[in-house]
Amino acid sequence: MSSVRGSRHARIRMLTAVATVCALSAIPPEPQAPEPVGADTSTYTETFRPQFHFTPQKNWMNDPNGLVYYKGEYHLFYQYNPNGNSWGDMSWGHAVSKDLVHWKELPLALSHDDEEMVFSGGAVVDWDNTTGFGTRKNPPMVAIYTSAYKKGGKQAQSLAYSTDRGQTWTKYQGNPVIDVGSTDFRDPKVQWHAPTKSWLMTVSMSTEHKVRFYSSKNLKDWELQSEFGPTGATGGVWECPDLFPLAVDGDPDNIKWVLVVNINPGGIAGGSAAQYFIGDFDGKKFTAEDKGSYTPPAGSVVQDFEGGGFGEWTTTGTAFGRGPAAGAVDGQGAVSGFDGKGLANSYHGGDGATGLLTSPSFTVDSPYLNFRIGGGRHPHGAGTALDPTPPEGTVLADFEGGTYGGWTATGDAFGTAPATGTLPGQQQVSGFMGGGLVNSFRNGDSTTGTLTSPEFTVDKKYVNFLIGGGNHPAGSEGPTTVELLVDGQVVRSATGKDAEALDWASWDVGDLAGKKARIRIVDDNTGGWGHLNVDHIVLSDTRARRVSQETSVNLLVDGQVVRSATGANSETLDWASFDMRPYAGKKAQIQVVDRNTGGWGHVLADQFTAAEKPAQSVVQRADWADYGKDYYAAVSWENAPGGRRYMIGWMNNWDYAGSVPTQPWRGVQSVPREMALRTVDGRIRLTSKPVDSLDSLRRDRPAAASAVTVDNASKPLIGPAAGNKAMDLEAVFSVEDADRFGLKVRTGAGGEETVIGYDTTTQELYVDRSRSGSGDFSSAFPGVQTAPMKPKNGKVKLRVLLDWSSVEVFGGNGEAVITDQVFPDPSSTGVEVFAEGGTATLDHMQAWRLKSAWK
């Protein structure tokens, strides 16, 4: 799937003149958000603190757990680290709400201990006291969670119970209640299945891409009923499954079952996402509706690798061999999904080999280039260099020779000498030079220490070094950092990106010329990714460029990469497509790139075809509850009043979850959504809308705009001075002849904007957050997310929820939803309407400023 998916949506530029009158009533300036009663004045008004999404007062949060309604309260449990702002010591935090909008954070519910961490799961009210944990008069609330055992890594399903409405909890002495001996068996969701008068558990065999269904009469003794999968998107682990019935189009006589399977990575927008299947459940087995086989669009084959050599395509390096492969090569697992007898395969020599395979130059004369791709998931990074040669200069340390030389170590994280590569229990380390590097994974993440260089004089413009490992910046709790010390003070710092692969980092030290300095490598973190990898520190007058570690297929125009796709850590090839329309008539080349020497460090490619329509991958053909980057671990409440199905997801993505710039908390839940099954364009779809109770936060008087026609232009609707960081907007557009149109929100400082648009040429809703503020903490963060959506009667309807650090867009009747975090400057609060490539009309819009839910 293309790592630049949706890049055809160029940033909308401010253009000229708008015709038509805008009837717009202004919103008064927003006052400072109120504080929760009894809260410290330093909380809930931090720069990016959400005002109507749940966040804990402090510390790390991820998956929602144990969603159950009981005695007038919606219970939200969640994965929580009680000891810090990064992943670790997983326990269940707890909050309750009467309306799914105003939340009260409660004390820790289920705590990790010396034997286990408490991973995700569900909760039920045992009304008939089948467990014996309570009484019929006072039925127990029972949590079903995954015990993640610290010794050996096994995962099994366990119980805990509460007889005081979830205030205090007792772990069942007979735990675990299901143990299959697996290290990837997790996230049980339990419900009462009335037709069989038994409890039903839906649980994930994560790496096998399967969901298992178990039944029980007492929540303690379980019997396996069936399995589902693998099918659909399988590019990452399957987690947090949920199964529930819904009426189709509100018809109680037409009930379908929905199986939600969250996947990471391999989601529709990259990284984490919530996939779903629609089908039938008979009490034992879930059967998904048959969507039929897929036939890609026909076209003209450019390269099918069926000859004895690569023809006019040229190679460098050794990874691709002397010609096409006939499938797998020596040492490789079975390869599938290619056409004919041959394909390009860069596994010659194993993952350690690198190389390029480049087509002749050609003139772009087709709308799309379709092809099959497999192998490693290592996307192209903008601005990276294919040449790994380090800059020339003075090498301060290369960590060769078996010693640290004059460097001074404290603690036990760094050992007595450099590592020679990957340490026991560590994922594969790559990207270092020579035979040695600093690696603080000695005895795992639990060790800490420092490693400090001898003093040196800053006599060149840059300090360049290779760095990998944990992302825990200086100043955070438990940093993993490389620091530059001048006069004993930290004047520069860098951290890893939660990846074992090392890449170049650079400090501009021109202003420190002539100063005496030291470099200190700090590992003060004992949680997840609590280590650093460092190598080849060099003073130079040239800034080092990050080295490409991609396994990708790239389209080059004028020598620049303008489209890119990568594999999914799979030896099965899948379809991908490049939109070539912006480059019609230009000279281009196809380049198959393997610059990775770590795990899955190879790429597979076949069947390059020029076509009139794009081919779709398995991921694109799958069904998704949300098409944004930040909606994961989505699960629903049990026992909600009126039989309604409310769902919530963790508003984050494992690609950068540990790096988002929030403190003293990290992690936020989406707005709870009411789910429904509707027939859309002749097909049953899972749709969602924000819970109705969110309307209670709307201030009385909305801003209103009507009959605003924009012709290849952008026009302000609400100025930044209004200070509206939390808003609820409803808008309807008429589709005319514009290529793209929509709203820009959070506009302001330095050209910041988040673009919420509709592309008429592709019939897609999109969100472009490439200029949304802070996003340099991860190369996976900026970009464009798209969702398929057709206009209805020539109209496009949008509901947009803006919080201090997020945007949730509900298109149509909730069939196209995009959820993204954004981190703009607080002063960027403007709203604009735009059209590109023609004319569009904003029929009407209402925009409510939202009160804080924390009062």
**Catalytic positions, written as ranges:** 63
Could you give the CA distance from residue 789 to residue 772 in angstroms, rounded to a whole number?
23
Phi and psi at residue 697, in whole multiples of 5°?
A: -90, -10
Residue from 574, 655, 6, 779 nearest 271 by CA: 655
Residue carrying the six token digits 């125009």: 557
**DSSP-assigned letters across all residues of 301-332:** EEE---SSS-TT-EEEESTTTTS-BSS--TTP
Residue carrying the six token digits 């795990």: 599
Length of the chain: 855
Residue 60: which H helix or E strand, with range?
strand 59-70
Which tokens is 795 given?
């109209």
Could you give the CA distance from residue 725 to residue 45 in angstroms, rounded to a whole number?
12
* SS3 call for 259: strand
Residue 3, number of CB atoms within 10 A of its CB? 23
Residue 244: which H helix or E strand, with range?
strand 237-248
Do 61 and 657 form a contact (C-beta atoms < 8 A)? Answer: no
How far is it between the farthest Cα atoms of the chain?
81
Could you give the CA distance from residue 440 to residue 469 in angstroms, rounded to a whole number?
9
Report CA Rg, the chain.
27
DSSP structural state of residue 81:
-
Residue carrying the six token digits 């609330």: 141
Residue from 563, 576, 578, 580 nearest 606 by CA: 576
For 66, 166, 184, 201, 417, the CA distances from 74, given in Å and listed in that order, are 10, 11, 29, 21, 54
Could you give the CA distance from residue 165 to residue 106 in angstroms, rounded to a whole number?
12
For 432, 647, 824, the CA distances from 668, given in Å and listed in that order, are 35, 14, 17
**DSSP-assigned letters across all residues of 694-718:** GGGGB-S--EEEEEEEEES-EEEEE
Residue from 112, 111, 239, 241 nearest 189 by CA: 241
CA atoms within 13 A on the CB side of 118: 30
Residue carrying the six token digits 């020679």: 420
Could you give the CA distance from residue 855 to residue 697 in angstroms, rounded to a whole number?
11
What are the helix and strand counts (H, E) for the chain? Answer: 1, 56
Residue from 463, 464, 416, 422 nearest 439 by CA: 422
Cα-Cα-Cα-Cα dihedral sign, residues 85, 89, 90, 92: negative
Q: Which residues of 720-739 are buried (b: 16+ CB within 10 A; e: fewer)?
A: bebbbbbbbbebebbbbebb
Kindly report the three-state secondary structure assignment for every residue of 157-173: EEEEEECCCCCCCEECC
